[in-house]
Structure 1
Amino acid sequence: MTHYTQVGIIGAGPAGLLLAQLLHQQGIRSVVLENRSRERVESRQRAGLLEQNTVDLLRQAGATDRLDQQGLVHDGVILSYNGQRHRIDLAKLTGGSRVTIYAQTEVVKDLIQLRLNTGEPILFEAEATSIDGLDGNEPMIQYTHNGESHTLICDFVAGCDGFHGISRQTIPESLTTAYDNVYPYCWLGILAKVPPSTHELIYAYHDRGFALHSMRSPEISRLYVQCDVTDTLADWPDERIWAELQLRLGTVGWTLMEGPILEKTITPMRSFVSEPMQYGRLFLAGDSAHIVPPTGAKGLNMAVADTGQLFHALMDWYQNGSASELANYTACCMRRVWRVQEFSNFMTELLHHNPNKTPFEAQLQASRFNQLITSQMASTVVAENYVGLAAKRASEAQQSVNFHV
């Protein structure tokens, strides 16, 4: 069976769903294809920190009713080095920008409900099997749904289907440059049924390894400890987790409250970038094009930033008949992507214990933290990157690529 739309969107994560909603508000038709079930999509635990720019774009999309009620707004963040803490005043150092704690799971639920309310197509358990005709005016997505094969013909394809999705794999390997960095440690994360022991996030370096105290709600804490790449969940009984968190997060006059652990996961630490983020009429957004280690809390926010850029480019095409922003999509996105990669790498290297470091490199690491304590300028740089850099339009990009219509 053959169907027609203007924008075919592969992936019902934050990027794909947000793009669909923004396009709908402007009268642009789209179809969202997701290979997992709705239940699975709405239950995946992911990031929980939203930059100011992310909140602003979600508000533009009309997706902040629950966020405004349940989101936890933070004006600062705490960095700790072997028990010595330093608070970075985000709002003061950035002219009022803040971050909001609101789980990606909840963002996805909100966007799915908005999509269902519109009555526009969102197909779960619909697997895209190929993308064809990207050099022409009518690219085609072949997919299966309910045991039947379908063809979706569209003007443009938005590949929002993550690192393992079909979209990036469709770009010829000969045209792609990939950059990859795997860190020699992982994160073990838990959800605990206990009120947070802090009002703001604590990122902690300790000689035994990194730890992070975050939260999901006033009743649920989200915590992480650095672990070895060979570790499994069996290596981390609840007692060991709490003992390490107490040690790595501990400081004089502060108590970490403990409670029942509801969930445990181990997350590898990796950076990845694939260029270009476009090929013909295919445009990548989010994890399909780049991955960052979670230390800087940038994964979801990068996906939303891509979405905003792609939305503006598509609107320039549909409203003005101009392909200039589409042509410069990769160039504009990449400036932000590499800036975020550098910040995430900085935070990761600053806060983790790397057994492969020489004593000289370990002293440099301590010196970098000391600079944050003693230099307002250094803290300002961290604050500006943490709350999210201002979005750049494609018209400001310094490079361009060929785009034929």
Structure 2
Amino acid sequence: MKTILTTLAAVSLLAGTALAQTADLPDNLAKLGAFKTTGVTDFTVVEQTGPFADGIRKNLERIKLPDGFRIELYAVVPDARHMAVGPQGIVTFVGTRKTEVWAVTDRNKDRVADEVKNFAPSLTKAIPNGPCFTKDGFLIIAEQNRVLLYPAAEFFYESPDVVAVPIVPSGKLVPPDEESYNHTARVCKIGPDGKVYISLGQPFNVFAPEKMNLYTEQGIGGMIRMNTDGTDREVYTVGIRNSVGHDFHPVTGDLWFTDNQVDGMGDDIPPGELNHQTEAGQHFGFPWYGGGHVRTNEYKDSEPPADAVFPAVEMTAHAADLGMTFYSGKMFPEKYKNAIFSAQHGSWNRTTPVGARVMVTFIDDEGNATSEPFAEGWIDENDEYLGRPVDIAQLRDGSILVSDDLAGAIYRISYGQ
């Protein structure tokens, strides 16, 4: 408890400053930042048993995995998107593209969730897709156009009132005129430098040239980084269409990220991307390149950047590569150490569906990367989706979680159990 109180005391100055600068915030956010109650008492609790859960388990019997691995239902979580496992291993926070963040708890540690309920129900949220944890246990959630920090969320999530501080106030992540319903599922991760890295997808299939200067300046169609109190914001990556997954190599500290590429160019082009960034400011080709080395029609007569960085791996076209994580656990065989597990959400802009699987990418000592399917079978013989994986997270025991926003579930993949 002493550690928790110290954490809250340390953030109180930040809370006071944020409140002074954001008089237009909703009343409940202002109250929470000042450590006041809101009067909200009700949670939404998600049923974990019954026919719906049984149907998901039945579909999991179709999933193919390498020998020795197994997949099981971990939790029923509506609209489950990106995940952040608490440093204490108490709760996993799950974002959505709607209005809820879910708190998923396995109290008896049998590796099946006992309780799923909404987090901070007194707060109105807008596309709270991207949760991540700082190393000292602060939860950050990147929304459509706001970033909130929740100190000690892993300890106080049982209450409907949880301290929340805007490190990027509403309307300041992107200019309000650039808010969109498209490509606004933000993702955040903490880098080796302790800063928070947030992806900002640009809202178009291919944006018009007159947007170029604004987007480059703001980091739209790129990635930004800042201190965890919101200060020292800078653009770290440019030339991205819509990245919805990134992580840092455990040994080199380099940034790797997925990127979804241009639609409407045919079934088999352009390829999806897994990218490798080695320094700040690198340009990854969009909008001149629609994916890989494929030029876009809109910019085919315009000279691309001479220093454009091409993908480390070209993925299946339109498979929609989303969340990813480097594997650092001890449960899986040694070959998977420092490999990337990533989710392919599945295609919409294709005559025959592809994707809907978990990929694994191995990186050799020279940095060369090769990808292959790891878990697949969520597309049935009728070309219907039985699930659409979104993100990968690792539990403390070394197993991995896979979120699925179509089925509304989280799966657990383990080895040798």
* TM-score normalized by the length of structure 2: 0.25
Bigger Rg over Cα: 1
More contact order relative to length (CA 8 Å, sep ≥ 6)? 1
* TM-score normalized by the length of structure 1: 0.26
* Structure with the larger helix share: 1
